[in-house]
Structure 1
């Protein structure tokens, strides 16, 4: 499942059944606005398009104002498309064929195909605020891979950052100048933060007793996120 916001602030959710569901920001009523016959793997929105990636090698650019209209398909991937990000006015996609692809939204063929490996299983992709670095993570690995983006071109893999042994990342995002990675560590959820190329904080939730139905999960998550943001502060008080 993936989610994003449209230009009006409504929530768009893509699900494993191939539907894109819009939740109205005012009353949270749901409406199916678009769909396909494949699992939605990632979802983005611009003022002009809803951009949908799926398990069947396709990226769809859907008219944002009239979602029944598909403006164009981006079809160069030969395996499933696992993630898409916007880097300025360009789109970057990653798929199970081992390729990063750089697209101009108005064209149906990629500007660049950048091979980063043989067939593999990417599970997350992100871009930094300045759109100069693309980061991706792979299933069943313990590393974050960084690729530079210069003058509208993917240039080279500039760094591979190893996470502690046993970490299996499943998602990545950029917050400010830091990369935030989530996944599993020995079958327990974890969050990690990378700053200046160094993994300086990692928090696993292994100590949680999942059998207690009465746990205040919101308080637990707030506590761990606070420790992630302020590692020297052991208090759980709200900011």
Structure 2
């Protein structure tokens, strides 16, 4: 079964909008695990507009499933991850002013940088994943960095699926087949939802984990968080 990791950034955004501690990020992480999620994902950014660096430390002892920390590997981020030692670190090439992640790594252009960063994490026992576009060339480049896994950036698939174009899955299937052949673990995320997750899962071999935040939290406003998590788990079986 593909694991579901719930990205809780939106809970931090809601909390920060009032300046207090409601909703409480740590309690929400406890709850999603209790409801069946097999992982918790956070993506701290330098401006701390949603997840704060202190949240990362507060969550360290509370996430007993897979703890996945995403982010651009600036020195502050690297040092924090090395101290917290999550299950997995996912490297994302975000610009500091990005609203959300909007591109994968150029694994060829940035190979030397990624090799050095990934080596540092792996020497400290942290599984590594890098965010990549659905490009065979970039998958091959990812292999050369020494990463354990890749995370396919799924916005293009989600957009195509919403327009009724199910052929939008093909580049992802091709990349999944190549990743498996190269011995890379496969994750996926961005704009996956209850509408499109089942078809994605059915067509992506060896899919280990999906990270879902915005859609899952939005759907939970209507359907309830416990119910929505279990709806995703059924789709991912």
Same fold? TM cut 0.5:
no
Give the helix-richer structure, 1 or 2: 2
TM-score normalized by structure 1?
0.30
TM-score normalized by structure 2?
0.30
The structure with higher relative contact order (CA 8 Å, sep 6+) is 2
Give the strand-richer structure, 1 or 2: 1
